[in-house]
Amino acid sequence: MIKNRLKEIRMRGYMMAPGEFAKYLNVSIKTYSGWENGHSEPTLEGALIIANKLNKEWI
């Protein structure tokens, strides 16, 4: 699931708090929190932001 992957990347790869990571991705903390907690899924635009910023193709 996307939420598990995002949290793992944030914690292991970037060692950032959720708010810092949201800022890094240039999305609101509310948006990022929804993704990481599984309350929402990224839109196509959100998925592209994640893929481009994190250089991940699994999204």
Distance CA 54, CA 52 (A): 6
**pTM of the entire structure?**
0.86
pLDDT confidence bin for 55, thresholds 50/70/90:
confident
**Each residue's pLDDT tens digit, 5-42:** 999 999 999 999 999 999 999 999 999 999 999 999 99
User: CB–CB of 51/57 below 8 Å?
Assistant: yes
- Domain range summary for the chain, segments of one domain joined by +: 2-54
